[in-house]
Amino acid sequence: MSESVIVIGGGGHAKVVIDCIRKAGDRAVGILDDALEMGTMVSDVPVLGKIDAFKSYREHKFIIAIGNNAFRRELSKKMDVRWYTAIHPSAILSAYASIDEGTVVAPRAVVNAGASIGRHCIINTGAIIEHDCAIGSFSHISPAAALAGGVTVGEETQIGIGASVKNRLAICQRCTVGAGAVVVKSIDEEGVYAGVPARRIK
C-alpha cells in the first residue's frame, strides 16, 4: 500500500526528496516550513503551515528534508511521529546493507553489502558507500562523494560533493569534509577539512 508523507522543509533538498517519494510509488501530501507562506507550491506539493503544525498530521509519515545536520537532529528529537525513509528506485542497495528510518537515499546512490546507514542521513545523488561502511545518524554524504570499503563516519558529519575517503578510515562526528577533498588519514577531531590530501582548515 502506498504511504502518504509530510515533508519538513521546502528548500532545494525537499524537491529531491519529493521526487524520491513519488518515484517510490508513495505520496508527498504537504510541506511544513517555518519560512514559506501557506499555499506556496514546492514542485507540486503545497505548504500546509509551520513545522509546529505537525501534530495535526499524525496519520501521515514524516521526513525531514533539510540539509543542516544539527537541525535534523533537533527536529527529530522534538517530533514524536512515524518516520518515512525515502529511497529513490534508481539507487542500488545491497540486500546486506541496512538503512535506518528518516534517511534519504537519492537517485543513483550505491550502498554496498555490509554497509549501515544511521537515522535521518542524506545519501545524496550518486554517492558511493562501499562495503562495510558505517555512517552515523544525521550525517550527509554529498553528491558523487565516494567512501571506500570499511570507512566509518561519525554522527552529524558532512562529506562534501565529489570528496573521496580511502578504505578503512574513520572520520569523527560533526566534521565537514570539503568539496573534492581526498581523505587519506583518519580524522579524530571535529573541524573543517579540505584539499588533496585533506587537511584541517578550520
Ligand X SMILES: CC(C)(COP(=O)(O)OP(=O)(O)OC[C@H]1O[C@@H](n2cnc3c(N)ncnc32)[C@H](O)[C@@H]1OP(=O)(O)O)[C@@H](O)C(=O)NCCC(=O)NCCS
Determine, following the binding rule CB under 6 A, whether residue 180 of this chain makes contact with ligand X.
yes
Secondary structure (3-state) at 99: strand
Stretch that binds ligand X, among 43-51, 94-102, 128-136, 176-184 (CB under 6 A): 176-184
Q: Where are the alpha helices (DSSP H) in the chain?
A: 12-23, 69-78
Sheet strand arrangement including 45-49? 41-42, 45-49, 27-32, 4-8, 61-64
Nearest distance from residue 143's CB to ligand X, in Å? 6
Closest CA relative to residue 22, chosen from 89, 76, 73, 78: 89
Which parts of 26-65 interact with ligand X (CB under 6 A)?
A: none
In the set 13, 88, 120, 131, the catalytic residue is 131
For ligand X, give the closer residue by CB, 113 or 184: 184
Q: Output the DSSP codes for 19-65.
A: HHHHHTT-EEEEEE-SSS-TT-EETTEEEEE-GGGGGGGTTSEEEE-
Task: Name which position in 34, 195, 199, 200 contacts ligand X (CB under 6 A).
Answer: 195
Q: Which of 179, 182, 186, 190 binds ligand X (CB under 6 A)?
A: 179
- The answer to whether the CB of 106 falls within 8 A of the CB of 122 is yes
Smallest distance, ligand X to C-beta of residue 202, A: 5
Residue of 142, 152, 157, 164 interacting with ligand X (CB under 6 A):
142
Minimum distance, C-beta of residue 194 to ligand X, in the bound complex (Å): 4
Q: Is 13 in the active site?
A: no
Per rule CB under 6 A, is residue 9 in the interface with ligand X? no
Minimal distance, residue 167 CB to ligand X, in Å: 21
Cβ contacts of residue 44 below 8 Å, gap of 6+?
Answer: none
| Residue among 29 and 198 whose Cβ is closer to ligand X | 198
Nearer to ligand X, 102 or 126 (CB): 126
Q: Which helix (H) or strand (E) holds 190?
A: none
* Contact between 177 and 183 (Cβ < 8 Å): yes
Q: Which residue ranges make up the site for ligand X (CB under 6 A)?
A: 124, 142-143, 160-161, 176, 178-181, 192, 194-195, 201-202
